[in-house]
């Protein structure tokens, strides 16, 4: 019998990954998060930069944890419109070989309009698009590659925006489970903006001190698959990224939780890797002295970079399930204080006799 994605997780994945988004244009995703939280009677706090924090709290002073994901994905903003002729600027990562000729979707007043890229990408990431109908005013008009919003088949999930709507899906699923189970936890789901253009929303969150002090922060991402971080082999406990490494104590606690889940379920799998294919918001938080860990989903067609043309990003459904299960376990039992004690005790005990041998040998040699 093959893997079966949790029904609730599947529904949230279908809903969220189908939503249009781009850096600075995360309104549709943010509206979904607000409605999701309101239906579950959860508090939603928005900072002045538009980042959202959804909080679940139940129990007498349960330990705190925050889990974060960004709501945007590479796309473009429309700068000028002359009838059907548009000038646009790409926001975030892309493959320049896809310009011109690639098909795009332009969002105009919430409705999709098809178009085709007609020029190369210049040094300012500006390019031209021929739309199928007049756009009118360019205020609030943005777009993305014209790809399938989301397809779930067997153990594969394909979407135009896995990175990082899959992280948002995970947080929402954890919140849903906490509410249904009436679990004892103090969990904050953090949804940031404009990550793809340089961690802009996360920087605003730090500036306004929008995260709880002395609480671990786990950053979720979908990151380029690498040897040791492969699609279908489990959620990745991310040691670091291209810019920095993260908190080893938090990482150790996550590993212990993952090992416990692995013993309980044959379907749960995890990997451990420093994923250097890109950088994530965790590095920003580390540089500001926060206690940070990270989890990642190995990702195919990173930033829609297909071989010949833009392609849907791809992850494993079982990896997504494992990420959600691990985040739920961390919500119930977060990293707290000095978490390296058990490992230190075990290593000290295992080397005690051998250290005596070294000491005796040193004394003989002297």
Domain that holds residue 62: 7-73+149-332
* Residue 21 and residue 140 in one domain: no
CA distance 51 to 30: 9
Residues ≥6 apart with Cβ < 8 Å to 360: none
Tell which residue, 147, 156, 175, 144, has the closest CA to residue 33.
Answer: 175
Identify the three-state secondary structure at position 227.
coil
pLDDT at 341 over 80: no
pLDDT score of 338: 57
* Residue 271 and residue 175 in one domain: yes
Judge whether 359 lies within some domain: no
pLDDT score of 364: 66
Number of domains in the chain: 2
* Residue 35 and residue 62 in one domain: yes
| pTM for the structure as a whole | 0.94
* Residue 13 and residue 107 in one domain: no
pLDDT tens-digit map of 182-196: 999 999 999 999 999
* Residue 194 and residue 292 in one domain: yes
pLDDT tens-digit map of 51-72: 999 999 999 999 999 999 999 9
């Amino acid at each position: 019998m093959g893997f079966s994605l949790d029904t609730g997780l599947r529904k949230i994945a279908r809903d969220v990954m189908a939503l249009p988004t781009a850096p600075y244009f995360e309104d549709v995703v943010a509206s979904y998060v607000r409605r999701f939280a309101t239906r579950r009677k959860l508090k939603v706090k928005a900072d002045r930069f538009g980042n959202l924090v959804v909080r679940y709290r139940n129990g007498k002073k349960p330990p705190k944890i925050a889990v974060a994901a960004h709501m945007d994905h590479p796309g473009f903003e429309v700068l000028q419109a002359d009838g059907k002729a548009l000038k646009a600027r790409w926001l975030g990562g892309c493959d320049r070989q896809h310009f011109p000729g690639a098909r795009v979707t332009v969002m105009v007043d919430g409705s999709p309009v098809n178009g085709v890229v007609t020029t190369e990408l210049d040094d300012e990431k500006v390019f031209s698009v021929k739309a199928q109908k007049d756009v009118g005013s360019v205020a609030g008009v943005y777009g993305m590659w014209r790809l399938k919003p989301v397809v779930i088949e067997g153990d594969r999930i394909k979407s135009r925006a896995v990175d990082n709507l899959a992280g948002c899906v995970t947080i929402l699923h954890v919140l849903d489970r906490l509410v249904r189970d009436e679990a004892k936890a103090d969990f904050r789901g953090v949804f940031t903006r404009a990550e793809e253009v340089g961690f802009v929303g996360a920087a605003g969150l730090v500036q306004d001190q929008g995260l709880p002090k002395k609480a671990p922060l786990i950053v979720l991402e979908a990151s380029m698959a690498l040897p040791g971080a492969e699609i279908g082999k489990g959620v990745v406990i991310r040691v670091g990224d291209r810019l920095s490494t993260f908190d080893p104590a938090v990482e150790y606690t996550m590993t212990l939780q993952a090992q416990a889940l692995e013993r309980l379920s044959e379907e749960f799998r995890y990997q451990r890797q420093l994923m250097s294919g890109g950088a994530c918001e965790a590095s920003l938080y580390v540089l500001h002295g926060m206690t940070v860990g990270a989890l990642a989903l190995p990702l195919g067609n990173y930033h829609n970079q297909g071989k010949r043309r833009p392609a849907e990003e791809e992850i494993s459904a079982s990896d997504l399930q494992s990420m959600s299960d691990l985040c739920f376990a961390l919500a119930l039992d977060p990293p707290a204080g000095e978490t390296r004690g058990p490992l230190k005790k075990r290593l000290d005990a295992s080397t005690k006799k051998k250290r005596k041998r070294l000491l005796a040998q040193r004394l003989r040699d002297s």
